Amino acid sequence: MDLLGNLTLVFVAGFITALATGIGVLPFFFFDEISDRRNVVLWGLSSGIMVSASVFGLIEEGLAEGTATEIAAGMAVGVLLVVVARDVLMDADIDPREYEEADFKKLVLILGILTVHSFPEGVAVGVSFADLGLEDGVQLLGISVPLLAIFMTIAISIHNIPEGTAISIPLKSMGVSEWKMVWWAVFSSLPQPIGAVIAFAFVRFAREFLPFGFGFAAGAMIYLVLTEFIPEALEIGERLPNGGKPELAGGIVVGVLVMIPLAFI
């Protein structure tokens, strides 16, 4: 497959993860609200999946391609980029309620903030496709697709579902229609296919940076889990017995167990 075909396939994989965010809206087609307990479990599940995918997938694959020092350097830069990007955006926190009322300038700011949150996940998809067509993998449409790429696409898609739910809750309170909620949920993850294509193109032409790329994606995602996903879950669970910690822990354990097969790729 030529370069354009490879880039298209990677973009499609990234776009699938973005579309998965819309799945988080589906419960609202049938129910008026999602319980705090289920929400906490979903955030725990997402956290377990992201950390496991980073450790069993990205870091392990990075160590097979390079040194621990290269991985550590990549992780440090991944964390630093997220921190700096937040500072540049003045740590702005956009409420999804503002989506519907935003003008063009506000939408640009919103998309910039969403990029800080979801771009690293797109990078993770992109670097996982680094060996696309270059070695034995799963044959899809006559193309050898690395197993890691399939697992990362699935992992981030699953992770995006509770994000879609979280985005939809305030929109639902505004009376926004379910299909519009689907659109805004997908919109929140649009930086992912872009990040996937950029990361794939970079590591494909500069393979010496591949271990660094794996570390970068892993560091950024683990940092986001520790500073955003888990605090978000604990905030939602404040009204639950024990602050929702048992539900959070249970979700994390299930997420880790779901992704353990990555250790055997």
pLDDT tens-digit readout, 42-100: 889 989 988 988 988 899 889 988 899 999 999 999 999 888 877 766 555 666 666 66
Average pLDDT rounded to a whole number, residues 29-39:
82
Name the strand (E) or helix (H) holding 198: helix 191-205
Average pLDDT rounded to a whole number, residues 108-116:
67
Confidence of residue 252 (pLDDT cuts 50, 70, 90): very high
d(CA 12, CA 206): 22
Position 171 scores a pLDDT of: 78
Position 158 scores a pLDDT of: 87
CB 132 within 8 A of CB 143: yes
* In the chain, where the domains are located: 3-264
Q: Which residue has the higher pLDDT, 36 or 77?
A: 77
Position 97 scores a pLDDT of: 65
Position 265 scores a pLDDT of: 58
Contacts 24+ apart (CB under 8 A), 184-187: 184/96, 184/99, 184/100, 185/21, 185/22, 185/24, 185/25, 186/18, 186/19, 186/21, 186/22, 187/99, 187/111, 187/114
**Residue 242 CA, distance from chain mean position:** 28
Percent of the chain with pLDDT over 90: 28
- Residue 239 is given by DSSP the state G
| pLDDT exceeds cutoff 80 at 230 | yes
What are the beta bridge partners of residue 143?
140
Q: What are the pLDDT digits (tens) for 154-208?
A: 889 988 888 888 888 777 877 788 888 898 889 888 889 999 999 999 888 888 8
Position 101 scores a pLDDT of: 65
CA distances from 215 to 52, 65, 73 (A): 14, 11, 7
Q: Which residue has the higher pLDDT, 261 or 132?
A: 132
| pLDDT exceeds cutoff 60 at 104 | no
Q: Which residue has the higher pLDDT, 106 or 177?
A: 177
- Residue 131 is given by DSSP the state T
* pTM (predicted TM-score): 0.82
d(CA 241, CA 246): 9
Burial of 59 (0-12, 13-18, 19+ CB in 10 A): buried
How much is the mean pLDDT over the chain? 84
Position 163 scores a pLDDT of: 83
3-state secondary structure of 145: strand
CB 236 within 8 A of CB 43: yes
Q: What are the pLDDT digits (tens) for 209-218?
A: 899 999 999 9
Burial of 183 (0-12, 13-18, 19+ CB in 10 A): middle
Confidence of residue 106 (pLDDT cuts 50, 70, 90): low
CB 111 within 8 A of CB 184: no
Residue whose token pair is 């570390």: 215
